[in-house]
Structure 1
């Protein structure tokens, strides 16, 4: 049965885009991006801005939750936007608000840091190596290619470069890192994931716990730190990123892959966006992430637009004209569904690794 929206689409576009997957269709249909941006601006204009006190009065607080303010700028005002729901029988739901001062999107109430483990199953490694793992290593390779030559080789002359994969899960990336010659370590809070990672690895090593609890990691001196789909899970990002900065050696870089709060898909479907998952807490864009990096001592950041795995791997069924249109649409507002960033610890890192990238400096020289 054809829905009303599908009927309207047929009237406007005909049937020529019916075979294009929806997640690509919104980027390639003429005028679609502009229409969705207008839709987004209208949503923001209609959504009321209220005090934190009023928000507390009208919002239920769960057992493991706490009310928070904007981690990026400290503004206490709330602009409620979304109520994602998921799981069979709508097992979970939460509220997402926007900071009216800086535009940051975050879950509020949020999860108390000491109760973060409640969001994860006991057999989390089973999830990481199951359906979720399909295509993970391909995405890692594509992202490493986007920031070449940072990840081309784990050697700097005869010296082996040190790499830390924070939130390493079952070791899917560590496996690639050791293949490229890095002196690679990983750390994760899931003990079964760490055990699975160490079964997978040959030279790299995964640890259970926090960086401060592992001497080999706490000593720092890392040339590269990676956060693969981790940032949205961090309840105290300022504290974590200060720690990451302290663990980096001079000239070091931090690689981030996370869901993109400026995604055209989010602006299209709202609360049904696939970036709103049960265990995601905060949602960054190319406009809000620099505030986090600036506050925690990083010197610069560069973003690489995310066009989608099949587009970048060359396996898409889209025609070449539609591929070009999709890339143009994504670049126009960095509106891909994932956000890819390379943060530079200092000016030395920018000079060494910033060539060919559009580096945004975060501090005045």
Structure 2
């Protein structure tokens, strides 16, 4: 037994030993406050350096480039994490913008080499164990934003980064006129083999005439945002592709997560292909700068809790929900961005909408 685990047993006893590790920090008494203090201490101790200083001491990979903060342009860097997976042979550095708090990979991947991360075999990952509960998560997220996804009849939907078509299949079932794009050719092939009416295309939106023409009522980014090396350019494109009254749905890892604050470089949001890490504090800056009118966030309590299949006792479920709502919003960030005031009026009912413009 590790020292940390032994200390945990002494402090908390065995009551929480069977609670899944991702839920423990939300249900063990006082742990949320400890993790928040731990985070503030980390930020206080981490040095802030100039970009030039950072470049001089940091190695640069063949497909990488040094970048400044994409959200505010700040050039100073606050190095915080070095995620790595020795078994799979990858590692990188994550810095924080000392001006706006945005977390991002630096050095980052050059946009023209982004496809290198999605070479042959990526669809095998998307349709393997990763996909086992993926459609359930899509349904739970759609339910969190109510009427937007109840019926797609007469409405056009673009799934950006559609992968193997797991969500496009659901969009078909709900009646959407759905189309998707992805940078993985084998994923697109797998998607089209799965779909009946919807269609997936290889490349970028501007490469496909029917997509480049725009007029979409809904655009979805399912675990895609963290993969975009030039988010401002992409989100300006998304805004242009939306019809009046349109909305953009985002599901991504949450950079304000208590799990990040607890596990640091070992956080499960730091994966091989992730480049940028957003929170409810930093995402509005991206949306504001790219022309969106408002945004609403939905807390993420965890798939099993929301689906009603969790084994947590009712009192611990209530404590988990309360801590998620009072702190980070959960380990995943769920957001609905509104293109204009018409979209807010049409789809904002019952949501805590934050005006951006």
- TM-score, with structure 1 as normaliser: 0.97
| Contact 1:27–1:33 (8 Å) recurs in 2 | yes
- How much is the aligned-residue C-alpha RMSD, in angstroms? 0.8
Task: Give 1:334 shift.
Answer: 2.8
8 Å Cα contact 2:35/2:262 also seen in 1: yes
State which drifts further: 74-83 or 193-202: 193-202
Which residue pairs with 1:342 in the alignment?
A: 336
1:319 alignment counterpart: 313
Deviation per residue, 1:109-146 (Å, 9 max, x gap): 00101111222231211111111111000000000000
- Residues 36, 268 of structure 1: 8 Å contact kept: yes
The count of residues paired between Structure 1 and Structure 2 equals 357
Displacement of 1:10 after TM fit?
A: 1.8
Aligned to 2:48: 49
Q: Does 1:356 align with 2:350?
A: yes
Corresponding residue for residue 28 of structure 1: 27
CA deviation vs aligned residue, 1:319-348 (integer Å, no higher than 9, x gap): 000000000111112341110000000000
Q: Distance in 2 between matches of 1:334 and 1:36?
A: 11
Q: Aligned partners of 1:331, 1:99: CA distance in 2, in Å? A: 25
- Alignment partner for residue 98 of structure 2, among 92, 97, 100? 100
CA offsets per residue over residues 202-234 of structure 1, 9 Å max, x none? Answer: 111111111111111011000000000000000
| Partner residue, 2:16 | 17
Match of 1:59 in 2: 58
Map 1:127-166 onto structure 2 (within 5 A): 127-155=125-153, 160-166=154-160
Distance, in Å, in 1 between the alignment partners of 2:51 and 2:350 is: 44
Gaps of 5+ in 2: none
CA offsets per residue over residues 265-309 of structure 1, 9 Å max, x none?
000010001110111000000000000000000000000011100
User: Equivalent residue for 1:219?
Assistant: 213
In structure 1, C-alpha distance between the alignment counterparts of 2:7 and 2:229, rounded to whole Å: 41
**Cα distance in 1, alignment partners of residues 135 and 9 from structure 2:** 38
Native 8 Å contact 2:145 2:336 kept in 1: yes
**Contact 1:48/1:80 (<8 A) preserved:** yes
SS of corresponding position for 1:149: helix
Between the aligned partners of 1:78 and 1:243, the Cα distance in structure 2 is 28
Determine the C-alpha separation between the residues in 1 that align with 2:108 and 2:186.
Answer: 26
Distance 1:73 1:39 in 2: 26
1:330 maps to which residue?
324
Which residue is equivalent to 1:72?
71
Structure 1 position 279 matched with structure 2 position 273: yes
Shift of 1:87: 4.5
Q: Normalized against structure 2, the TM-score is what?
A: 0.99
Q: Deviations over 1:88-117 (max 9, x none)?
A: 1x6111000000000000000001011112
> Is the 8 Å Cα contact of residues 284 and 295 (structure 2) preserved in structure 1?
yes
Q: Is the 8 A contact 2:298 2:329 kept in 1?
A: no
Match of 1:270 in 2: 264
Contact 2:259–2:331 (CA<8 Å) still a contact in 1? yes
**Structure 1 residues not aligned, in runs of 5+:** none
